[in-house]
Amino acid sequence: MNIYDVLIRDFPFLLKGLGVAIVLLAALLLIGFVLGMAICLIQLYGPKSRLVQWPLKAYERIFRGIPIIIMLFIFYYGISGVWDISAFGAAILAMGLRSAAYQSQIFRSAFQSVPAGQMMAARAMGMSKLSAIRHIMFPQAARHAIGPWTNEFSSEIKETSLAYVIGVVELTRQAHYIITSTQGNVLTVFAVVALLYFILNRAGNSLLYAFERKLAVPGFEK
Amino acid sequence: MKKLSFLSAAVLCSAISGSFFITSAQAQESYTVGVEASFPPWAYVEGGEFKGIAIDAMDAIADEAGFEIEFQDMPFPSLIPALAAEKIDILATGLTVTEERSQNIDFTIPWWETNDVVLVPEDSDLNVFTAVCCGARVGVQGGSSQQAWMEENIVNSSDIDVELAKYDNYVTAVDDMAIGRISSVIVDDTSAQEYINAGRPVKMAGKIYIRAPLALAVSKGDPQEILGDLNQGILSIYEAGIWGEIIEEYIPGVTPPAIPGHMPGFVDTYQKPVAGLPELGNE
């Protein structure tokens, strides 16, 4: 059986691996979004007390400063003493928490790009801090954030390929299976896998670009 | 639209939570078997199914002993830590018995014996001496017993000038040798024969007789109390001839070494009485 026949036969398994990568991606981006937004809002509008701000800063620096492969091992083996977490769960948690650190900074710069005078004006009109954030700042900041957020999306897609080190059978691992069971063909198999990642990346990016154009703040269009 | 996104969120959540938590209400007699599924002929995946000597033998042993097993694939360097952390219950791959490993995990009786070979490109005129000397770059799998042997006997203890190149798995090492980045690969004779059978342009320049036993392993202290079952299972599939059939299927023409094979004295689970087989063991 030549490698092309094997690739055709095993293509469904590559797609299955791609599916695992997509679920991992969606879950980690979701955790990152929720937690990242919370961190950003507290950093900008929360209490200025060091007791609140310092741990957030430490969290963000630690997760942005440690390679994800080490985080994966720490979460998979480290937590297992306390909680019997699966490899997939550990990957979602490690990568989601790290994404939160990155996303918090994306959101922070987006909020900061909205002129501060708007916040003051909203407060002067008698709006509470929370409703000013919700109705004035957030709708504008969210639109500014889509562009930089695309970068986070693209880099996280590629990083899902690292989850195989703790035993998550995603696209890269499925490719390994084909390579080792056919005793070679590294280039051919990885070329196909690269194409799959590329398609996913472009599809996601086009969608986000379309979103960005549609929601652009008047006066800020490209 | 709102409905749709809610629905997809619900699907996503259930998909995640399904695999996020390992059910604690697992049946008592079901074990997770960790394998490195890119290590033919011991364990690999073909057409979406686990195959290989370790896979088939493990299935036969589980049948014999009457427990359920589930295979979990992991890259080799993660397998022993996973076993030590009890993320998996049994390790079944072409696992070499070494003294260092025996301090972190418990071995079953040996079921195979390998020697290492020096693999060189087909058109190479290197021999076993010239391949491993004089500034050569030699490929090994990271964390493997071959790496340990080379470091102990050549790199750290002699004047021989050799640089080890460590790979994720042996297939990429052999590919790198084809490109010319390394001049030889030290690999066990079973795998080497596989590459030659598969028509890769390599040949054996020579053999290093280390008589390394291969075995299954469980977490240190055998917390699941399955070491005895595994030992009895290995012996009984060997005596029933099932073992021979499996070997014949994956590496035709090879005579399997007798079981139980040589049991090194440094392994504590090889002290008499061996779990499940009390008549065996080192005095």
Q: Domain spans of chain B?
A: 30-111+215-270, 114-212
A27–B12 C-beta distance less than 8 A: yes
Residue A56 lies in a domain: yes
Residue A159 lies in a domain: yes
Kindly list the distances between the CA atom of residue A92 and the CA atoms of A35, A72, A82, A99, in Å, as whole numbers in the listed order: 13, 9, 17, 10
User: What superfamily would CATH give domain B30-111+215-270?
Assistant: Periplasmic binding protein-like II (3.40.190.10)
Q: Which fold has domain B114-212?
A: D-Maltodextrin-Binding Protein; domain 2 (3.40.190)
Q: Which helix (DSSP H) or strand (DSSP E) does residue B105 occupy?
A: strand B105-107
Sorted by sequence, the CB contacts under 8 Å of residue A122 that are 6+ apart come out as A132, A135, A136
**Residues 89-118 in A contacting B (C-alpha not used; CB under 8 Å):** 89, 92
**Strand ranges, E, within A119-176:** none
Long-range own/partner contacts, residues A199-203 (CB < 8 A, 24 or more apart): A200/A18, A200/A21, A200/A22, A200/A157, A201/A154, A201/A157, A201/A158
Mean pLDDT in consecutive groups of 10 residues from the start of chain B, 283 residues:
46 48 54 92 91 96 93 91 91 90 94 91 86 88 88 84 89 90 91 85 89 92 93 95 94 85 90 89 82
Which tokens is B131 given?
Answer: 């391949």
Tally the domains of chain A.
1
How many Å from the N-terminal Cα to the C-terminal Cα in chain A? 52
Proportion of chain A above pLDDT 70, given as a percent:
98
The predicted pLDDT at position B100 comes to 87
CA–CA separation, A186 and A192 (whole Å): 10
CATH number of the domain at A166, please: 1.10.3720.10
The alpha-carbon gap from A78 to the nearest alpha carbon of chain B, in Å, equals 9
Best of A176, A178, A185, A187 to mutate (most B CBs within 10 Å, chain B) = A176
The predicted pLDDT at position A169 comes to 94
ipTM here: 0.77
| A15-31 average pLDDT score | 96
The alpha-carbon gap from A34 to the nearest alpha carbon of chain B, in Å, equals 14
The predicted pLDDT at position B38 comes to 87
pLDDT band with cut points at 50, 70 and 90 for residue A220? low
Backbone angles phi and psi of B48, in degrees to 5: 80, 5
Lowest-confidence segment of A63-77, A138-152, A192-206, B4-18 by average pLDDT: B4-18
Residue A222 lies in a domain: no
Range of the domain at A194: 3-215
Residue A220 lies in a domain: no
Nearest to A164 among B16, B24, B75 (CB): B75
User: pLDDT digits over A72-86, tens only?
Assistant: 999 998 886 677 788
Global pTM reads 0.78
The alpha-carbon gap from B177 to the nearest alpha carbon of chain A, in Å, equals 12
Q: Which helix (DSSP H) or strand (DSSP E) does residue A103 occupy?
A: helix A87-112
Residues of B in contact with A77 (CB under 8 A): 81-82, 85, 87
A84–B38 C-beta distance less than 8 A: no
